[in-house]
Amino acid sequence: MTIHIGAQKGDIAETVLMPGDPYRAKWAAETFLQDAQLINEVRGMLGYTGSWNGHKVTIQGSGMGMPSLSIYANELIRDFGAKTLIRIGSCGGMQPQVKLRDVIVAMTATTLASPSQSIFKEVNFAPSADWSLLQAAVTAAQSRDIGTHVGGIYSSDTFYDERPDLNEQMVRHGILGVEMEAAELYTLAARYQCRALAVLTVSDHLGTGETLPSDQRERSFGDMVEIALEAAFA
């Protein structure tokens, strides 16, 4: 048990999927895991452990933003022995070829600032995904009838962004989509020598203003969870 996770030793698997929304963690656990048990509800940040194809899996909400994710990822790794952490979440598309419901497998994650920034001082550390997870996720995604994109994303530290000039530079430099957590997850995985990946569903588009209707989100997010699970145990 830690300050933010009320689980006991052994309750949490070495493989953890991390959606931002705790209710998405609940939905994913009930939909994809066998014998899922609630193992954390401290501060309403729900976590469940069950099995998928005979493999023990935990799905733990991370909250919104890098500071929140950093708390949960640190405790999962340091106190509960998590070895593979995969973010499953939504993102905003930034390139014209990226469409709603497409899946982005994030190779790298650019950020303006993260909780780890003070450690590196003048160095611009380049956080990236684990290659084995990335490769397996791409294979799993391409076996489905969904658009799949592999490349860099942008982890923003603000949701209501008032920097259109910054978004323009992200688009100019080929960034596929924007979200709020992956850069810190990749940095922590590098620090603790764990595996990390972000598999993201495009739920809206910054360029076109399109938004995925609520009745289509569950199906699209389901593809993302299956891709993450297949990648984790490839």
* 78 assigned ligand-binding residue: no
* 122 assigned ligand-binding residue: no
CA count, 13 A, side-chain hemisphere, 107: 10
Cβ neighbours of 60 (radius 10 Å): 29
* 163 assigned ligand-binding residue: no
* 55 assigned ligand-binding residue: no
Residue for token pair 């500071």: 67
* 43 assigned ligand-binding residue: yes
130 is catalytic: no
Residues 6+ away with beta carbon under 8 Å from 45: 4, 22, 60, 61, 62, 63, 72
* 151 assigned ligand-binding residue: no
Backbone angles phi, psi at 218, to 5 degrees: -60, -45
* 30 assigned ligand-binding residue: no
* 20 assigned ligand-binding residue: yes
Measured N-to-C along each axis, helices 66-80 and 182-192 cross at an angle, to the nearest 10 degrees, of: 30
* 217 assigned ligand-binding residue: no
* 24 assigned ligand-binding residue: yes
Taking the CA atoms of 106, 112, 118 and 122 in sequence, report the sign of the dihedral they define.
Answer: positive
- In the set 11, 157, 161, 204, the catalytic residue is 204
Q: Which two tokens stand for residue 119?
A: 């450690």
Residues in the annotated binding site for phosphate: 20, 24, 43, 87-90
The binding site consists of: 4, 20, 24, 43, 87-90, 179-181, 203-204
Return binding residues for a purine D-ribonucleoside.
4, 179-181, 203-204
The catalytic residue positions are: 204
